[in-house]
């Protein structure tokens, strides 16, 4: 039979549709792979030994009090580590004024990942240490700066380990890690001074008003503060509950799901003025605080708090793991 033009056309149409079909089949295969990888990435395993090492290294510089050589050296180390872990780093320098009118040369250290992603989560911790030990049992030692192994270095150590994991396998979203300065220079409790507001969290107050990117916004933020003590309990911090109770419960649920219910108590804690308050108030997205709370203590924190007992002996790898693995799980579940 002789093929007419019509037949040829019909024949190619069949062939084309077959090709189209096979293409389509292949495509739907690759689409499902894509969907799968978007749905749930494997969560990296948080290494508590590594976080512990980053804490130990910070403490070895000596107290990281603004306007000291130890502080300057540690700032270099932290920015260098974030760079080594593949982040785009910005060191934001700011002159902030302390309760006693001392001008502090503050540095907020920022590491950005996946800058092309619009959806971002911000993770933060303060990196400075307190110039006083107001709550030390020895009055002679109250005017000297503390090691701040837990109060300062622990949150940063956990976030550096998270940065190291992000470099190995990227989450689906953008991540901004911010180490805030001058959080712990608040008006001391051991000398009688008239009540003064907003003397804490000076670095985050500055950043809130002058973010590293104009109009910076994240979907949400998580602040880590005092996340390394043995037997640390993290309660629902009340400002965080006020800003986004669903987010707080979601993070605590994940901690319980992973088996860290011992540390993450599903009960109300205190109202704690910390960096997350200024982040939320100035930037207008919710930032929650994972912070050790001790309901029976007079000041609400551990016995070591703002004393010379806040040393490396106060750091426990099990607590670091509970917090670090929970935060990793939260960010790798995002898409
Ligand atoms: C006050 O004591 C006002 N806020 C606790 C924030 C803090 C101090 N975190 C660590 N040190
Ligand atoms: Zn403190």
Domains of the chain, residue spans: 2-332
Q: Which fold has domain 2-332?
A: Aminopeptidase (3.40.630)
Average pLDDT, the chain: 91
pLDDT greater than 60 at residue 113: yes
Q: What is the mean pLDDT of residues 49-57?
A: 99
- Nearest-angstrom CA–CA distance, 143 and 8: 94
Q: Of ligand 1's atoms, which has the minimum distance to the CA of residue 130?
A: 11
Q: Which of 200, 279, 302 to mutate to test the pocket of ligand 1 (most atoms within 8 A of CB)?
A: 200
273 lines ligand 1 (CB under 6 A): yes
pLDDT greater than 90 at residue 289: yes
Where does the pLDDT of residue 40 fall: very low under 50, low under 70, confident under 90, or very high at 90 and above?
confident
- C-alpha closest to that of 274 among 310, 228, 320, 240: 240
- The tens digit of pLDDT for each residue in 92-101 reads 999 999 999 9
272 lines ligand 1 (CB under 6 A): yes
Alpha carbon nearest to ligand 1 atom 3, residue: 273
pLDDT at position 237 is 98
Q: What is the mean pLDDT of residues 225-229?
A: 98
CA of 259 to the centre of ligand 1 (A): 28
Label the pairing between strands 234-236 and 264-268: parallel
Alpha carbon nearest to ligand 1 atom 6, residue: 274
pLDDT at position 25 is 32
CB atoms within 10 A of CB 245: 13
Q: How far is CA 39 from CA 33, 42, 171, 179, 310, in A?
A: 10, 10, 11, 30, 41
pLDDT at position 223 is 99
- Ligand located closest to 226 CA: 1
- Nearest-angstrom CA–CA distance, 227 and 295: 16
Where does the pLDDT of residue 38 fall: very low under 50, low under 70, confident under 90, or very high at 90 and above?
low
pLDDT at position 27 is 36
Higher pLDDT, residue 36 or 213 = 213
Q: Of ligand 1's atoms, which has the minimum distance to the CA of residue 152?
A: 10
Q: Of ligand 1's atoms, which has the minimum distance to the CA of residue 186?
A: 3
184 lines ligand 1 (CB under 6 A): yes
Q: What is the mean pLDDT of residues 202-208?
A: 98
- Which uninterrupted H or E stretch holds 328? helix 317-332
CB atoms within 10 A of CB 62: 16
Quick check: 50 and 164 in contact, CB under 8 A? Answer: yes
151 lines ligand 1 (CB under 6 A): yes
Quick check: 104 and 66 in contact, CB under 8 A? Answer: yes
CA of 201 to the centre of ligand 2 (A): 10
Higher pLDDT, residue 88 or 23 = 88
Where does the pLDDT of residue 9 fall: very low under 50, low under 70, confident under 90, or very high at 90 and above?
very low
CA of 323 to the centre of ligand 1 (A): 19
Quick check: 164 and 142 in contact, CB under 8 A? Answer: no
- Ligand located closest to 291 CA: 1
Q: Of ligand 1's atoms, which has the minimum distance to the CA of residue 274?
A: 6
pLDDT greater than 50 at residue 66: yes
274 lines ligand 1 (CB under 6 A): yes
- The tens digit of pLDDT for each residue in 119-166 reads 999 999 999 999 999 999 999 999 999 999 999 999 999 999 999 999
pTM: 0.89
Torsion of CA 87, 88, 94, 98, to 10 degrees: -20
Higher pLDDT, residue 191 or 288 = 288
Q: What is the mean pLDDT of residues 226-249?
A: 98
- Ligand located closest to 300 CA: 1
């Amino acid at each position: 039979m002789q093929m007419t033009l019509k037949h040829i056309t019909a024949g190619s149409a069949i062939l084309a549709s077959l090709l189209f079909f096979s293409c389509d089949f292949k495509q739907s295969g690759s689409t499902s792979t894509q969907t799968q990888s978007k749905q749930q990435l494997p969560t990296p395993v948080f290494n508590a030994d590594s976080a512990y090492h980053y804490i130990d290294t910070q403490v070895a510089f000596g107290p990281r009090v603004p306007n000291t050589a130890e502080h300057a050296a540690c700032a270099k180390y932290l920015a260098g580590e974030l760079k080594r872990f593949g982040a785009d780093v910005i060191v934001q320098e700011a002159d902030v004024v302390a309760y006693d009118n001392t001008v502090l040369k503050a540095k907020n250290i920022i590491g950005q990942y996946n800058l092309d992603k619009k959806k971002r989560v911000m993770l933060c911790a303060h990196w400075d240490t307190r110039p006083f030990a107001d709550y030390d049992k020895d009055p002679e030692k109250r005017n000297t700066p503390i090691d701040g192994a837990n109060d300062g270095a622990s949150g940063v150590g956990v976030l550096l380990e998270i940065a190291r994991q992000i470099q190995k396998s990227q989450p689906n979203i953008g991540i901004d890690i911010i180490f805030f300065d001058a959080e712990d220079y608040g008006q001391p409790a051991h000398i009688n001074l008239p009540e003064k507001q907003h003397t804490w969290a000076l670095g985050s107050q500055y950043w809130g008003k002058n973010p590293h990117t104009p109009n910076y916004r994240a979907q949400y933020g998580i602040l880590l503060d005092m996340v390394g003590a043995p037997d640390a309990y993290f309660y629902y911090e009340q400002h965080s509950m006020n800003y986004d109770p669903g987010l707080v419960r979601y993070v605590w649920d994940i901690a319980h799901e992973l088996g860290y219910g011992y540390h993450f108590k599903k009960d109300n804690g205190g109202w704690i003025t910390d960096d997350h308050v200024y982040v939320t108030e100035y930037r207008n997205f919710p930032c929650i605080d994972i912070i050790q709370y001790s309901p029976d203590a007079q000041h609400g924190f551990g016995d070591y708090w703002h004393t010379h007992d806040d040393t490396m002996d106060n750091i426990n790898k099990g607590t670091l793991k509970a917090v670090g693995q929970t935060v990793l799980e939260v960010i790798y579940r995002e898409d």
